[in-house]
Structure 1
Amino acid sequence: MSLSSQLTVLGEYLAGEFDNQEQAIADPAWYVHLRLWQRPVNLFSEDSITLFAEQANIINLDNPYRQRIMRLKPGGDFDPHLQVQYYMPKDPGSLKGAGRNPTLLDTLTSDQLDLLPGCVLTVTQQTLAPNCYKFVATPVANTSCRFTYLGNSIQVSLGFEASAAQFHSYDKGIDTATGKATWGAILGPYRYNKRNQY
């Protein structure tokens, strides 16, 4: 199955190495200076594009965290939108550092991943200029991204905007008792600039 041009462009926009240096300098009280890696991996390639993502504080690049898999795929039969389905590695530690050392991803297989059923985004495309787009990814209505990690019940609110040179992350951790955000893009998105294209 050939991939649509829309899906291919989204994958190209998302793949890369990013950081939010400008934002962290302008507002250090609210935004940690982070490095973000989103590397293509050869999984589900028959109908989708798959990326491994992780991030690290710029002052501690040897201790990356939030290892996750993003599968970019077409929507359902009657849905013109793209979707992003999230997965979690069953053993995140085995992939720790793969953002900087992608050879760790060479042997990754789909049976090493846990599907996160409620962790799905719908992606819409906006044309900014000829061959220049912005993709906006928002949670599917009436879904909740919840999973268990290290014995703890985790809830996350996901979302992003992506263009050729920027990636804005709206990801937030949610307190399951209060419904309030406890980490992440509490005051607005993390605004990453692409430093390297993968």
Structure 2
Amino acid sequence: MALSPTLLQLANYLTGEFDNQEQAMADPAWFVHLRQWHCPIALFTDDSFTIFAEQANIVKLDQPYRQRLLRLKPSDDAQSLQVQYYGFHNPAAIRGAGQRPEMLERVTIDSVELLPGCILQVIETGDDRFVASPPADARCYFSYEGETRQVILGFESSPTEFFSYDKGVDPKTGATLWGALMGPYRFTKRQHY
């Protein structure tokens, strides 16, 4: 199946190395200086484009975290796009692949797990930007260190920027715990893949 030009454009915007240096310097009380990697990976290639994502605090680049996959594909109605997130059965085995993409060659479909409620609907806004937000009924849960975690996902992407709206929430109380508490993390693309 040939991928649509719109899907390939979104993939082009999303792939690369990013950081939020300007934002972190302007408002260090609310925004940690992060580096983020979005690397293409050869999974689900029959109907989608898949990206390995990982990030690290700039002062701890040797300790990356939030390893995940973003699978860009047509929505069920084939009229728009969606992003389906996947986790890893063993995130430690792939830790650092953002900086060493050759590690991605050993990732197989059996080493990842679908995160059912972790899905975003994507719209193209007409100003060279894509906006991705969860459907109203979507709830993104995953297990981490034996505990159930919840995250509210969302992003905006353009040729040079990636804004992350991701927020971790307490699944019992709904209280926001981490992430884009004071607005999105504003990443600038530093290198294109």
- TM-score interval w.r.t. the shorter chain? over 0.9
- The answer to whether structure 1 residue 196 and structure 2 residue 191 are counterparts is yes
Q: Distance in 2 between matches of 1:59 and 1:148?
A: 27
| Residue identity matched to 1:75 | S
The number of equivalent residue pairs is: 193
Report the RMSD for the aligned CA atoms in angstroms.
0.7
Query: Corresponding residue for 1:52?
Result: 52
| Distance in 2 separating the partners of 1:20 and 1:149 | 26
Q: Which whole-Å CA distance do the structure 1 matches of 2:79 and 2:152 have between them? A: 23
The answer on 1:173 being equivalent to 2:155 is: no
1:41-190 mapped onto 2 (5 Å cutoff):
41-76=41-76, 78-128=77-127, 133-190=128-185
Deviation string for 1:36-79 (max 9, x for gaps)?
Answer: 00000000011100000000000110000000000000001x35
Q: Distance in 2 between matches of 1:112 and 1:157?
A: 24
What are the Cα deviations for residues 79-125 of structure 1, in whole angstroms up to 9, with x where unaligned? 51100000001100011000000011011111110100000000000
**Cα offset for 1:141?**
1.9
- Give identity over the alignment, percent: 55
Unaligned runs of 5+ in 2: none
Structure 1 ranges of 4+ moved more than 3 A:
none
The residue that corresponds to 2:30 in the other structure is 30
Structure 1 runs not aligned, ≥5 long: none
Distance in 1 between the 2:176 and 2:46 partners?
36
What is the distance in 1 between the residues matched to 2:143 and 2:61? 25
Within 2, Cα distance between the matches of 1:155 and 1:146? 4
How far apart in 1 are the matches of 2:138 and 2:159? 29
What SS does structure 2 have at the residue aligned with 1:103? Answer: helix
Q: Distance in 2 between matches of 1:120 and 1:61?
A: 28
